[in-house]
Amino acid sequence: MTREVPVVIDGDACPRGGRETVPVRSPSTGEQLATMVRGTPEDVDRAVRAAGHAAAVLVSMTPRARAGLVRRVGELIAERAGTIAHDLAGEQGKPLREAEGEVATAVIMWHEAAEIVRHSTDEILPSDDAARRVVVVRRPHGVLAVITPWNFPATIPTEYLSAGLAAGNAIVWKPSELTPLTAVHLMDCIRDAGFPPGSVNLVPGLGHDTGAALVSHPRISAIGFTGSPRTGDAIARAAGAKPMLLELGGNNATVVLDDVDVAAAADRLSSAAFANAGQICSSTERIVIHRRIHDQLADALTERAKALRLGLSLDPSTTIGPLNNEPTVTKVNGHIEDAVAKGARVTTGGKRAGGWPTPLYYEPTVMTGLTPEMLAFTEETFGPVAALMTFESDDEAVGLVNGHGLGLIAGILGEDVTRALAIGRRIDAGVVNIGDVATAWQPHTPFGGYSGRASGVGRLGGRYTVEALSQLQTFVLPADAMP
Protein backbone atom coordinates (compact mmCIF):
# COMPACT_ATOMS: atom_id res chain seq x y z
CA MET A 1 0.00 0.00 0.00
CA THR A 2 1.40 3.41 -0.99
CA ARG A 3 2.10 5.74 1.90
CA GLU A 4 0.44 9.15 1.96
CA VAL A 5 1.88 12.50 2.99
CA PRO A 6 -1.10 14.49 4.31
CA VAL A 7 -1.87 18.07 5.12
CA VAL A 8 -1.53 18.37 8.92
CA ILE A 9 -3.39 21.23 10.61
CA ASP A 10 -3.86 21.75 14.34
CA GLY A 11 -2.35 18.34 15.06
CA ASP A 12 -4.64 16.35 12.75
CA ALA A 13 -4.07 14.85 9.32
CA CYS A 14 -6.73 16.21 6.99
CA PRO A 15 -8.74 13.82 4.81
CA ARG A 16 -7.52 13.89 1.21
CA GLY A 17 -10.94 14.79 -0.15
CA GLY A 18 -10.71 16.25 -3.63
CA ARG A 19 -7.15 17.55 -3.29
CA GLU A 20 -4.68 16.79 -6.06
CA THR A 21 -1.76 14.49 -5.31
CA VAL A 22 1.87 14.23 -6.40
CA PRO A 23 3.86 10.95 -6.54
CA VAL A 24 7.02 10.82 -4.43
CA ARG A 25 9.64 8.76 -6.26
CA SER A 26 13.08 7.51 -5.36
CA PRO A 27 15.74 9.14 -7.56
CA SER A 28 17.78 6.02 -6.93
CA THR A 29 15.35 3.33 -8.11
CA GLY A 30 12.43 5.19 -9.67
CA GLU A 31 10.08 3.43 -7.27
CA GLN A 32 7.04 5.35 -6.05
CA LEU A 33 7.56 5.71 -2.31
CA ALA A 34 4.47 7.71 -1.41
CA THR A 35 1.70 9.98 -2.58
CA MET A 36 1.85 13.59 -1.41
CA VAL A 37 -1.38 15.52 -0.99
CA ARG A 38 -1.16 19.03 -2.44
CA GLY A 39 -2.30 21.63 0.03
CA THR A 40 -4.57 24.40 -1.20
CA PRO A 41 -4.67 28.13 -0.42
CA GLU A 42 -7.63 27.30 1.83
CA ASP A 43 -5.42 24.83 3.72
CA VAL A 44 -2.79 27.53 4.10
CA ASP A 45 -5.36 29.89 5.61
CA ARG A 46 -6.61 27.25 8.06
CA ALA A 47 -3.05 26.36 9.00
CA VAL A 48 -2.10 29.99 9.64
CA ARG A 49 -5.14 30.47 11.85
CA ALA A 50 -4.36 27.28 13.79
CA ALA A 51 -0.79 28.48 14.24
CA GLY A 52 -2.07 31.79 15.56
CA HIS A 53 -3.94 30.00 18.35
CA ALA A 54 -0.91 27.85 19.14
CA ALA A 55 1.39 30.88 19.18
CA ALA A 56 -0.65 32.36 22.04
CA VAL A 57 -0.05 29.17 24.03
CA LEU A 58 3.65 28.93 23.21
CA VAL A 59 4.44 32.51 24.17
CA SER A 60 2.82 31.96 27.56
CA MET A 61 5.12 29.02 28.32
CA THR A 62 8.35 29.53 30.23
CA PRO A 63 11.61 29.17 28.30
CA ARG A 64 12.37 26.11 30.43
CA ALA A 65 9.10 24.46 29.37
CA ARG A 66 9.68 25.17 25.68
CA ALA A 67 13.27 23.99 25.96
CA GLY A 68 12.10 20.71 27.42
CA LEU A 69 9.78 20.08 24.49
CA VAL A 70 12.43 21.07 21.95
CA ARG A 71 14.96 18.74 23.54
CA ARG A 72 12.42 15.92 23.55
CA VAL A 73 12.02 16.28 19.78
CA GLY A 74 15.75 15.66 19.42
CA GLU A 75 15.53 12.61 21.66
CA LEU A 76 12.70 11.16 19.59
CA ILE A 77 14.59 11.74 16.35
CA ALA A 78 17.56 9.91 17.86
CA GLU A 79 15.34 6.99 18.87
CA ARG A 80 13.91 6.76 15.32
CA ALA A 81 17.13 7.63 13.50
CA GLY A 82 17.40 4.39 11.53
CA THR A 83 13.92 4.63 10.05
CA ILE A 84 14.25 8.34 9.30
CA ALA A 85 17.64 7.91 7.61
CA HIS A 86 16.31 5.03 5.49
CA ASP A 87 13.41 7.13 4.17
CA LEU A 88 15.63 10.19 3.76
CA ALA A 89 18.15 8.28 1.63
CA GLY A 90 15.35 6.72 -0.37
CA GLU A 91 13.61 9.95 -1.32
CA GLN A 92 16.63 12.25 -1.56
CA GLY A 93 19.11 9.86 -3.20
CA LYS A 94 22.14 10.43 -0.98
CA PRO A 95 24.07 7.40 0.33
CA LEU A 96 22.67 5.90 3.51
CA ARG A 97 25.83 6.81 5.42
CA GLU A 98 25.33 10.48 4.56
CA ALA A 99 21.65 10.28 5.50
CA GLU A 100 22.57 8.81 8.87
CA GLY A 101 25.02 11.66 9.42
CA GLU A 102 22.39 14.22 8.51
CA VAL A 103 19.90 12.79 11.01
CA ALA A 104 22.56 12.73 13.72
CA THR A 105 23.31 16.40 13.04
CA ALA A 106 19.60 17.23 13.27
CA VAL A 107 19.50 15.68 16.75
CA ILE A 108 22.38 17.91 17.85
CA MET A 109 20.64 20.98 16.45
CA TRP A 110 17.40 20.30 18.35
CA HIS A 111 19.38 19.84 21.56
CA GLU A 112 21.40 23.01 21.00
CA ALA A 113 18.24 25.05 20.36
CA ALA A 114 16.89 23.84 23.68
CA GLU A 115 20.04 24.92 25.49
CA ILE A 116 20.05 28.31 23.79
CA VAL A 117 16.54 29.25 24.87
CA ARG A 118 17.03 27.71 28.32
CA HIS A 119 19.89 30.11 28.98
CA SER A 120 18.53 33.17 27.18
CA THR A 121 18.57 36.44 29.12
CA ASP A 122 16.89 39.83 28.98
CA GLU A 123 18.86 43.08 29.23
CA ILE A 124 18.71 46.08 31.53
CA LEU A 125 20.15 49.13 29.76
CA PRO A 126 21.36 52.35 31.36
CA SER A 127 18.62 54.98 31.44
CA ASP A 128 19.13 58.68 30.79
CA ASP A 129 16.26 59.35 33.18
CA ALA A 130 16.92 58.50 36.84
CA ALA A 131 13.20 57.98 37.36
CA ARG A 132 12.92 55.40 34.56
CA ARG A 133 14.38 51.96 33.86
CA VAL A 134 14.98 50.34 30.45
CA VAL A 135 14.49 46.60 29.96
CA VAL A 136 14.94 44.81 26.61
CA VAL A 137 13.30 41.41 26.18
CA ARG A 138 13.25 38.95 23.30
CA ARG A 139 9.80 38.01 21.99
CA PRO A 140 8.66 35.63 19.25
CA HIS A 141 7.48 36.99 15.92
CA GLY A 142 4.23 35.02 16.17
CA VAL A 143 3.45 32.81 13.16
CA LEU A 144 6.35 31.82 10.93
CA ALA A 145 6.17 30.64 7.33
CA VAL A 146 8.94 28.10 6.69
CA ILE A 147 9.75 26.78 3.21
CA THR A 148 12.56 24.24 2.86
CA PRO A 149 14.35 22.44 -0.02
CA TRP A 150 15.08 18.82 -0.88
CA ASN A 151 18.85 18.56 -0.51
CA PHE A 152 18.93 18.28 3.31
CA PRO A 153 15.35 17.42 4.32
CA ALA A 154 16.22 16.82 7.99
CA THR A 155 18.80 19.45 8.93
CA ILE A 156 17.59 22.46 6.96
CA PRO A 157 14.02 22.25 8.34
CA THR A 158 15.50 21.63 11.78
CA GLU A 159 17.39 24.93 11.60
CA TYR A 160 14.10 26.81 11.33
CA LEU A 161 11.75 24.55 13.32
CA SER A 162 13.95 24.04 16.38
CA ALA A 163 14.91 27.70 16.74
CA GLY A 164 11.45 28.97 15.82
CA LEU A 165 9.70 26.80 18.40
CA ALA A 166 12.34 27.49 21.04
CA ALA A 167 11.76 31.22 20.58
CA GLY A 168 8.00 30.74 21.08
CA ASN A 169 6.71 30.93 17.51
CA ALA A 170 4.17 28.68 15.85
CA ILE A 171 4.95 27.56 12.31
CA VAL A 172 3.33 26.74 8.99
CA TRP A 173 5.78 24.60 7.04
CA LYS A 174 5.89 23.76 3.34
CA PRO A 175 8.57 21.12 2.76
CA SER A 176 9.87 20.21 -0.67
CA GLU A 177 7.50 18.04 -2.66
CA LEU A 178 10.52 15.88 -3.53
CA THR A 179 11.36 14.86 0.06
CA PRO A 180 8.15 15.00 2.14
CA LEU A 181 8.57 11.65 3.93
CA THR A 182 11.31 13.09 6.12
CA ALA A 183 8.95 15.96 6.93
CA VAL A 184 6.33 13.49 8.15
CA HIS A 185 8.89 11.93 10.50
CA LEU A 186 9.80 15.34 11.93
CA MET A 187 6.12 16.20 12.38
CA ASP A 188 5.54 12.93 14.23
CA CYS A 189 8.42 13.69 16.60
CA ILE A 190 7.12 17.23 17.26
CA ARG A 191 3.65 15.89 18.01
CA ASP A 192 4.92 13.06 20.21
CA ALA A 193 7.18 15.45 22.14
CA GLY A 194 4.03 17.13 23.47
CA PHE A 195 3.92 20.44 21.63
CA PRO A 196 0.45 22.04 21.64
CA PRO A 197 -1.63 21.22 18.53
CA GLY A 198 -1.00 23.75 15.79
CA SER A 199 2.55 24.51 16.90
CA VAL A 200 3.77 23.22 13.54
CA ASN A 201 1.32 22.77 10.67
CA LEU A 202 2.38 20.90 7.54
CA VAL A 203 1.04 22.09 4.18
CA PRO A 204 2.77 20.11 1.40
CA GLY A 205 2.48 21.47 -2.09
CA LEU A 206 4.22 23.27 -4.91
CA GLY A 207 5.92 26.62 -4.69
CA HIS A 208 3.84 28.51 -7.23
CA ASP A 209 0.56 27.91 -5.38
CA THR A 210 1.00 26.62 -1.82
CA GLY A 211 4.24 28.49 -1.23
CA ALA A 212 2.94 31.70 -2.77
CA ALA A 213 -0.23 31.58 -0.67
CA LEU A 214 1.84 31.03 2.45
CA VAL A 215 4.35 33.88 2.12
CA SER A 216 1.68 36.38 1.08
CA HIS A 217 -0.76 35.52 3.88
CA PRO A 218 -1.49 38.65 5.93
CA ARG A 219 -1.26 36.79 9.25
CA ILE A 220 2.25 35.49 8.64
CA SER A 221 4.61 37.46 10.88
CA ALA A 222 7.99 36.37 9.49
CA ILE A 223 9.46 34.04 6.87
CA GLY A 224 12.28 31.50 6.76
CA PHE A 225 13.34 30.15 3.37
CA THR A 226 16.24 28.17 1.96
CA GLY A 227 16.39 27.82 -1.81
CA SER A 228 17.32 29.57 -5.03
CA PRO A 229 18.02 33.31 -5.39
CA ARG A 230 15.19 33.58 -7.95
CA THR A 231 12.61 32.16 -5.54
CA GLY A 232 14.07 34.18 -2.69
CA ASP A 233 13.58 37.37 -4.69
CA ALA A 234 9.96 36.43 -5.39
CA ILE A 235 9.36 35.75 -1.70
CA ALA A 236 10.90 39.07 -0.72
CA ARG A 237 8.63 40.92 -3.13
CA ALA A 238 5.53 39.08 -1.88
CA ALA A 239 6.42 39.48 1.79
CA GLY A 240 7.03 43.21 1.73
CA ALA A 241 8.38 44.52 5.02
CA LYS A 242 8.00 41.30 7.01
CA PRO A 243 11.14 40.00 8.71
CA MET A 244 12.84 37.37 6.55
CA LEU A 245 15.64 34.85 6.96
CA LEU A 246 16.71 33.82 3.45
CA GLU A 247 19.56 31.44 2.60
CA LEU A 248 19.87 31.49 -1.18
CA GLY A 249 22.90 29.44 -2.11
CA GLY A 250 26.26 30.17 -3.64
CA ASN A 251 28.88 29.24 -6.20
CA ASN A 252 31.58 28.74 -3.61
CA ALA A 253 35.32 28.85 -4.20
CA THR A 254 38.23 27.27 -2.41
CA VAL A 255 41.60 28.90 -3.05
CA VAL A 256 44.56 26.50 -3.04
CA LEU A 257 47.91 28.13 -2.29
CA ASP A 258 51.18 26.73 -3.60
CA ASP A 259 52.45 25.58 -0.19
CA VAL A 260 49.83 22.86 0.37
CA ASP A 261 50.34 19.13 0.63
CA VAL A 262 48.77 18.26 -2.73
CA ALA A 263 47.56 14.79 -1.75
CA ALA A 264 45.91 16.06 1.43
CA ALA A 265 44.35 18.96 -0.46
CA ALA A 266 42.95 16.59 -3.09
CA ASP A 267 41.39 14.43 -0.37
CA ARG A 268 39.75 17.43 1.22
CA LEU A 269 38.56 18.92 -2.07
CA SER A 270 37.05 15.63 -3.23
CA SER A 271 34.80 15.54 -0.19
CA ALA A 272 34.01 19.24 -0.53
CA ALA A 273 32.95 18.95 -4.17
CA PHE A 274 31.25 15.55 -4.25
CA ALA A 275 29.49 15.09 -0.89
CA ASN A 276 25.73 14.76 -1.48
CA ALA A 277 26.62 14.67 -5.18
CA GLY A 278 27.49 18.36 -4.95
CA GLN A 279 23.93 19.29 -3.96
CA ILE A 280 24.95 21.48 -1.02
CA CYS A 281 24.55 25.24 -0.85
CA SER A 282 28.05 25.40 0.67
CA SER A 283 29.62 22.91 -1.77
CA THR A 284 32.99 23.80 -3.27
CA GLU A 285 32.25 24.31 -6.96
CA ARG A 286 35.15 26.50 -8.10
CA ILE A 287 38.70 25.54 -7.14
CA VAL A 288 41.12 28.41 -7.64
CA ILE A 289 44.62 26.89 -7.74
CA HIS A 290 48.05 28.46 -7.82
CA ARG A 291 49.43 27.87 -11.30
CA ARG A 292 52.58 26.15 -9.98
CA ILE A 293 50.66 23.19 -8.53
CA HIS A 294 47.62 23.15 -10.82
CA ASP A 295 48.50 20.15 -12.97
CA GLN A 296 49.57 18.03 -10.02
CA LEU A 297 46.40 18.83 -8.08
CA ALA A 298 44.17 18.35 -11.13
CA ASP A 299 45.60 14.86 -11.63
CA ALA A 300 45.18 13.97 -7.96
CA LEU A 301 41.60 15.22 -7.82
CA THR A 302 40.75 13.36 -11.04
CA GLU A 303 42.03 10.13 -9.50
CA ARG A 304 39.85 10.63 -6.43
CA ALA A 305 36.77 11.39 -8.52
CA LYS A 306 37.30 8.18 -10.50
CA ALA A 307 37.58 6.22 -7.24
CA LEU A 308 34.14 7.27 -5.99
CA ARG A 309 31.56 4.49 -6.08
CA LEU A 310 28.38 5.62 -7.79
CA GLY A 311 25.40 3.54 -6.75
CA LEU A 312 22.02 2.99 -5.15
CA SER A 313 21.37 5.15 -2.11
CA LEU A 314 20.67 2.17 0.17
CA ASP A 315 23.70 0.15 -0.94
CA PRO A 316 26.26 0.39 1.90
CA SER A 317 29.13 0.43 -0.60
CA THR A 318 27.84 3.55 -2.39
CA THR A 319 29.88 6.72 -1.85
CA ILE A 320 27.96 8.98 -4.25
CA GLY A 321 24.33 8.65 -5.25
CA PRO A 322 22.20 10.04 -8.07
CA LEU A 323 21.10 13.61 -8.43
CA ASN A 324 17.68 14.25 -6.98
CA ASN A 325 15.71 15.43 -10.00
CA GLU A 326 15.81 15.99 -13.74
CA PRO A 327 16.01 19.83 -13.67
CA THR A 328 19.18 19.53 -11.60
CA VAL A 329 20.72 17.06 -14.07
CA THR A 330 19.76 19.32 -16.97
CA LYS A 331 21.43 22.31 -15.33
CA VAL A 332 24.61 20.37 -14.55
CA ASN A 333 24.78 19.15 -18.15
CA GLY A 334 24.18 22.65 -19.43
CA HIS A 335 26.99 24.12 -17.35
CA ILE A 336 29.46 21.48 -18.51
CA GLU A 337 28.47 21.81 -22.17
CA ASP A 338 28.77 25.60 -21.94
CA ALA A 339 32.20 25.35 -20.32
CA VAL A 340 33.53 22.87 -22.88
CA ALA A 341 32.23 25.02 -25.73
CA LYS A 342 34.17 27.94 -24.26
CA GLY A 343 37.44 26.04 -23.85
CA ALA A 344 37.26 24.01 -20.63
CA ARG A 345 38.51 20.41 -20.59
CA VAL A 346 36.79 17.53 -18.77
CA THR A 347 39.36 15.19 -17.20
CA THR A 348 36.79 12.71 -15.91
CA GLY A 349 33.01 12.39 -15.95
CA GLY A 350 30.99 15.10 -17.62
CA LYS A 351 27.96 13.01 -18.51
CA ARG A 352 25.12 10.89 -17.20
CA ALA A 353 26.06 7.41 -16.03
CA GLY A 354 24.28 4.64 -17.89
CA GLY A 355 23.09 1.30 -16.58
CA TRP A 356 21.15 2.56 -13.57
CA PRO A 357 17.41 2.40 -12.79
CA THR A 358 16.90 6.13 -13.40
CA PRO A 359 18.56 8.71 -15.68
CA LEU A 360 19.56 10.80 -12.64
CA TYR A 361 22.96 9.20 -12.07
CA TYR A 362 25.80 11.52 -13.03
CA GLU A 363 29.49 10.78 -13.23
CA PRO A 364 31.65 12.73 -10.74
CA THR A 365 33.24 15.39 -12.90
CA VAL A 366 36.50 17.31 -12.83
CA MET A 367 37.11 19.99 -15.44
CA THR A 368 39.96 22.41 -15.93
CA GLY A 369 40.16 25.76 -17.66
CA LEU A 370 37.23 27.47 -15.95
CA THR A 371 36.95 31.16 -16.89
CA PRO A 372 34.65 34.00 -15.75
CA GLU A 373 32.69 33.83 -19.02
CA MET A 374 31.34 30.36 -18.23
CA LEU A 375 28.02 29.57 -16.53
CA ALA A 376 29.84 27.31 -14.06
CA PHE A 377 31.65 30.44 -12.85
CA THR A 378 28.67 32.79 -12.61
CA GLU A 379 25.88 30.44 -11.46
CA GLU A 380 25.44 27.73 -8.85
CA THR A 381 25.84 24.36 -10.59
CA PHE A 382 24.58 22.20 -7.70
CA GLY A 383 26.02 18.94 -8.92
CA PRO A 384 29.10 16.67 -8.72
CA VAL A 385 31.39 19.04 -10.60
CA ALA A 386 34.77 20.38 -9.52
CA ALA A 387 35.71 23.25 -11.83
CA LEU A 388 39.37 24.27 -11.72
CA MET A 389 41.01 27.58 -12.64
CA THR A 390 44.43 29.07 -11.97
CA PHE A 391 45.94 32.19 -10.43
CA GLU A 392 49.44 33.57 -10.06
CA SER A 393 49.11 36.46 -7.59
CA ASP A 394 47.04 36.65 -4.42
CA ASP A 395 45.31 39.72 -5.84
CA GLU A 396 44.22 37.65 -8.82
CA ALA A 397 42.88 34.93 -6.53
CA VAL A 398 40.77 37.44 -4.60
CA GLY A 399 39.38 38.85 -7.84
CA LEU A 400 38.38 35.41 -9.08
CA VAL A 401 36.66 34.46 -5.83
CA ASN A 402 34.72 37.74 -5.72
CA GLY A 403 34.03 37.90 -9.45
CA HIS A 404 30.33 37.05 -9.44
CA GLY A 405 27.15 38.02 -7.61
CA LEU A 406 27.07 35.35 -4.89
CA GLY A 407 28.89 35.37 -1.55
CA LEU A 408 28.02 32.53 0.80
CA ILE A 409 31.17 30.70 1.88
CA ALA A 410 34.79 30.40 0.78
CA GLY A 411 37.87 28.45 1.80
CA ILE A 412 41.62 28.91 1.57
CA LEU A 413 43.91 25.88 1.71
CA GLY A 414 47.49 26.77 2.58
CA GLU A 415 50.14 26.26 5.22
CA ASP A 416 50.94 29.97 5.62
CA VAL A 417 48.07 31.08 7.86
CA THR A 418 49.12 34.74 7.78
CA ARG A 419 48.97 34.78 3.99
CA ALA A 420 45.70 32.85 3.91
CA LEU A 421 44.10 35.19 6.43
CA ALA A 422 45.24 38.25 4.47
CA ILE A 423 43.46 36.82 1.43
CA GLY A 424 40.42 35.83 3.47
CA ARG A 425 39.90 39.34 4.81
CA ARG A 426 39.39 40.54 1.24
CA ILE A 427 36.84 37.91 0.24
CA ASP A 428 33.16 38.87 0.09
CA ALA A 429 31.61 35.80 1.69
CA GLY A 430 29.59 35.29 4.85
CA VAL A 431 31.95 32.52 6.00
CA VAL A 432 35.65 32.18 5.17
CA ASN A 433 37.48 29.01 6.22
CA ILE A 434 41.20 29.51 6.70
CA GLY A 435 43.14 26.30 6.17
CA ASP A 436 40.05 24.45 5.02
CA VAL A 437 37.63 24.09 2.11
CA ALA A 438 34.59 26.25 1.48
CA THR A 439 32.15 23.47 2.31
CA ALA A 440 33.08 23.16 5.99
CA TRP A 441 30.55 24.68 8.40
CA GLN A 442 29.85 24.23 12.10
CA PRO A 443 26.06 24.36 12.65
CA HIS A 444 26.20 26.55 15.76
CA THR A 445 28.04 29.33 13.92
CA PRO A 446 26.44 32.11 11.83
CA PHE A 447 25.92 31.10 8.21
CA GLY A 448 24.58 33.33 5.45
CA GLY A 449 25.30 35.57 2.49
CA TYR A 450 27.59 38.59 2.44
CA SER A 451 25.88 41.98 2.24
CA GLY A 452 25.20 43.16 -1.30
CA ARG A 453 25.39 39.64 -2.70
CA ALA A 454 22.57 37.36 -3.88
CA SER A 455 23.22 34.62 -1.31
CA GLY A 456 20.56 35.71 1.16
CA VAL A 457 19.59 37.84 4.13
CA GLY A 458 20.26 37.08 7.78
CA ARG A 459 22.14 34.29 9.52
CA LEU A 460 21.33 30.67 10.31
CA GLY A 461 23.12 28.74 13.03
CA GLY A 462 22.69 28.29 16.77
CA ARG A 463 21.69 31.40 18.67
CA TYR A 464 21.79 33.45 15.49
CA THR A 465 18.77 31.57 14.15
CA VAL A 466 16.91 32.07 17.42
CA GLU A 467 17.67 35.79 17.23
CA ALA A 468 16.55 35.99 13.59
CA LEU A 469 13.28 34.22 14.39
CA SER A 470 12.45 36.51 17.28
CA GLN A 471 12.29 40.24 17.92
CA LEU A 472 13.36 42.71 20.58
CA GLN A 473 10.82 44.58 22.67
CA THR A 474 11.87 47.49 24.87
CA PHE A 475 10.09 48.37 28.11
CA VAL A 476 10.66 51.76 29.73
CA LEU A 477 9.07 51.78 33.16
CA PRO A 478 9.12 53.70 36.44
CA ALA A 479 12.23 53.10 38.49
CA ASP A 480 10.22 52.11 41.55
CA ALA A 481 8.76 49.16 39.58
CA MET A 482 12.17 47.49 39.76
CA PRO A 483 14.58 46.81 42.59
Q: Which of 98, 100, 247, 380 is catalytic?
A: 247
DSSP 139-195: EE-SEEEEE--SSSTTHHHHHHHHHHHHTT-EEEEE--TTSHHHHHHHHHHHHHHTP
In sequence order, the 6+-apart residues with CB closer than 8 A to the CB of 337 are none
Q: What are the boundaries of each domain within the chain?
A: 3-248+459-473, 252-442
Tens of pLDDT, residue by residue over 1-21, are: 689 999 999 999 999 999 999
Q: Are 278 and 365 in contact (CB under 8 A)?
A: no
Class of domain 3-248+459-473: alpha beta
pLDDT the model gives residue 123: 96
Show pLDDT as tens, one digit a residue, over the chain (483 residues): 689 999 999 999 999 999 999 999 999 999 999 999 999 999 999 999 999 999 999 999 999 999 999 999 999 999 999 999 999 999 999 999 999 999 999 999 999 999 999 999 999 999 999 999 999 999 999 999 999 999 999 999 999 999 999 999 999 999 999 999 999 999 999 999 999 999 999 999 999 999 999 999 999 999 999 999 999 999 999 999 999 999 998 999 999 999 999 999 999 999 999 999 999 999 999 999 999 999 999 999 999 999 999 999 999 999 999 999 999 999 999 999 999 999 999 999 999 999 999 999 999 999 999 999 999 999 999 999 999 999 999 999 999 999 989 999 999 999 999 999 999 999 999 999 999 999 998 999 999 999 999 999 999 999 999 999 999 999 999 999 887
Fold (topology level) of 252-442: Aldehyde Dehydrogenase; Chain A, domain 2 (3.40.309)
Angle between helices 417-424 and 394-401 (to 10 degrees): 40
Q: Is 20 a catalytic residue?
A: no
d(CA 82, CA 100): 7
- Report the pLDDT value the prediction gives residue 158, as an integer from 0 to 100: 99
Burial class (CB in 10 A: 0-12, 13-18, 19+), 452: exposed
CA distance 251 to 247: 13
Q: What is the pLDDT of residue 1?
A: 67
pTM over 0.95: yes
CA nearest neighbour of 469 among 114, 202, 144: 144
How would you classify the pairing of strands 8-9 and 12-13?
antiparallel
